[in-house]
Every structure is written in C-alpha cells, then in structure tokens.
Amino acid sequence: MKNKILFFSPFFITFLLVSSAGWSLEPSFSSAPSTSTESSKLTEGAEAPQMLLTTEGDSHSPKVSGETAPSYHKYSSVHVDGPYIAMTFDDGPSPTLTPHLLDILKEKGVKATFFVIGQNVVHSPEIVARASAEGHEIGNHSWSHPMLTKLSEEHLQEEVQKTSDAIAEATGKKPTLLRPPYGAINQRIGKMIEEKDGLTIILWSVDPLDWKSPGANVVAQRLIAGTKPGSITLSHDIKPGTIQAIPEVIDAFKAKGYKFVTVSELIALESKAPASAAQSTKTK
C-alpha cells in the first residue's frame, strides 16, 4: 500500500490548534458595567457637606458641593478688627448638662449662642428661658434635626417654624439665626429660610468633632488650636466631655486675650476693612 501524504493548509493547522486548546478567536467583552463602592448619587438638591476638623480656622469650614455664590446670607466666621470670638453649642437643651454649662458660663462671665432643637425646647423650656435671661443668644436648629436639603418645602417650613415658635414661647423673643443640622444647606433652602423665616444661616469655622466623644482633653485642644479672631466655634452641650472641657477652653481663650460675644454681636462687629478670602467667609 502506498503511503498517502495529506496536505494541510496553514489556516487549517491554526484552526486545529485553536480548537484543541479551547481558545476563541472572537474578541472578549464584559457585559457587566464596572462599579465602584466609593461612588454614590445624592438626591437632587440634597448636597451633603464635608465635615472637617478645623484646626486652621476658616479654610476648613463646612463645605457644600455645587454652591459658589449664595443669594442669601451665610456665616462660618466674621472678619473683625478685634479679638472677638463666638462660642456656640448645638443640639440642646440637655436637662442635666446644659444647666451645668450655664453655671460655668455664668461663673466665667462668658456669653454664648445656643442652637437648640425644638423638641428639646418643649421638654425643657425653663432651661432655654434661663439661658436667654442670662444674656445668651438662642438660635434655631430645627425641630427634629433632619437634613434640611432632603425635605419638602412644607416639611422644611414645619421644622423651622415650630422651633422658632417654641423658642419665642420660652424666651419671649423670636430667633434670628438658624444653623442647619449637619451644616447641610443649598441655594434654594438658604434663600427660602432667609426670605420666609427671616433667619440668617450660621455655620462654623472650628469643629472639635466632640460628637464623637474623643475625650475632654482632645476637645479642649482642638478648640484652642483652631480658634482665632472672628471664629465661630462649634460644640455640643449634650456631650459630657464637652462640658468638662469648657472651663479649660475659656481660660485658654482669656489668656490669649479673646473677648466672648454672641453670634449676632460678632456679625455686628464685622470689619469694613478689606479682608482676604481666608479671613472672611460671609457670602451673599
């Protein structure tokens, strides 16, 4: 028998090799889109601010994305010519801690501003009345501490108006300032609150992150290190560590020559002299 010689073309040989190896000559595409655990979408008009530890003053104020030139008044600090500062306390009144803080402030001769939650005012109106009678300023911090930028207009107005009414009933005076919970604010909400409720938006320039309960010493160090003339400091009169830190903080501020005023008084002291962008954080 004669041997048969089979002739295979180069293409046919390539085909056999590919098939035996289980390879494919087709390009490979992934049908599933890539995902990232770090990406997320916010509801329209519900910009969440970046909360930063402020140890260098105004450059670390709360920041709200997408807002460059607000059509309303907003302060995180005030450019002043003298050594004036405003200490503020949020989320009270606390039935036990706020009276203790008021005792400290009275003993030290310090005036402060309290941004109160409406529900707490209703439960402890006598504490708010005392704070007002002793010369402290009472500001609106909403009724139940929601993120205002996520509320409907009707719900927003209810949160603001009920709190202002509760403050007025307790003190005989309607508030003129509002601090939005979490510092969350945008153009629409800020303008609405100013025009409909007559309230100026107040943020802050020094945040010791005392809501994380880092301890009295840490709270004191952060407040002392971050404060400069015109600062608006943030802390919470519902945190025991904060109350423990305040005497040391006040003594340190006095040693630096600072003078204590309410937020409205600080705004009234605003200097008309030119200020750099780092010195003035008021916007209109």
pLDDT digits (tens, 9 = 90+) for 135-182: 999 999 999 999 999 999 999 999 999 999 999 999 999 999 999 999
Catalytic residue among 58, 90, 91, 207: 90
In this prediction, residue 275 carries a pLDDT of: 58
Q: pLDDT at residue 217 above 90?
A: yes
Predicted confidence at residue 55, as pLDDT, reads 27
Q: What is the DSSP string of the chain?
A: -PPPPP---HHHHHHHHHHHHT---SPP---SPP--TT---PPTT-PPPBP---SSGGGG--B-TT-SS-SS-EESB---SSSEEEEEEES---TTHHHHHHHHHHHHT---EEEE-HHHHHH-HHHHHHHHHTT-EEEE--SS---GGGS-HHHHHHHHHHHHHHHHHHHSS---EE--GGG---HHHHHHHHHHH--EEE--SB---GGG---HHHHHHHHHHH--TTBEEEEETT-HHHHHHHHHHHHHHHHTT-EE--HHHHHHT---S---TTT---B-
Q: Which domain holds residue 217?
A: 71-268
User: Taking the CB of residue 209, how many other CB atoms lie within 10 A of it?
Assistant: 16
For residue 56, pLDDT beyond 60: no
Decide if pLDDT at 280 tops 50: no
* Residue 282: per-residue pLDDT: 58
Reply yes or no on whether the pLDDT at 81 is more than 70.
yes
Report, as an integer, the average pLDDT of 195-216: 98
3-state secondary structure of 87: strand
DSSP 122: H
Q: Has 251 been annotated as catalytic? A: no
Q: Quick one: which of 273, 247, 274, 230 has its CA closest to 58?
A: 230
Confidence of residue 68 (pLDDT cuts 50, 70, 90): low
Residue 14 falls inside a structural domain: no
Distances (CA, A) of 143 to 22, 54, 95, 147, 239: 67, 27, 17, 11, 19
Q: For position 241, what pLDDT does the model report?
A: 98
Q: Are strands 84-90 and 113-116 parallel, antiparallel or unpaired?
A: parallel
Task: Look at residue 71 in the predicted model and tell me its pLDDT.
Answer: 87
Residue 64 has pLDDT above 80, yes or no: no
Check residue 173 and give its pLDDT: 97
Has residue 106 got a pLDDT over 60? Answer: yes
Return d(Cα 249, Cα 126) in angstroms, integer.
Answer: 27
Q: Does a structural domain hold residue 31?
A: no
Residue 15 within any structural domain of the chain: no
The residue to which tokens 């970046």 are assigned: 50
Instruction: Work out the mean pLDDT of the chain and round it to a whole number.
Output: 81
Percent of the chain residues topping a pLDDT of 70? 72
pLDDT value of residue 52: 27
* Inside any domain, residue 168: yes
Length of the chain, in residues:
284
- 73 assigned to active site: no
CATH number, domain of 108, equals 3.20.20.370
Q: Is residue 135 in some structural domain?
A: yes
Residue 17 belongs to a domain: no
- Structural domains in the chain (count): 1
Residue range 115-121: average pLDDT? 98
Q: Is residue 278 part of a domain?
A: no
Give CA–CA dist 44/38, Å, rounded.
19
| Whole-number pLDDT of residue 272 | 76
Kindly indicate the confidence band of residue 107, based on its pLDDT and cuts at 50, 70 and 90: very high
In angstroms, the CA 219 to CA 249 distance is: 9
Query: For 16-20, 142-146, 160-164, 250-254, which range has the lowest pLDDT when averaged over its residues?
Result: 16-20
The answer as to whether 40 is a domain residue is: no
Predicted pLDDT of residue 273: 72
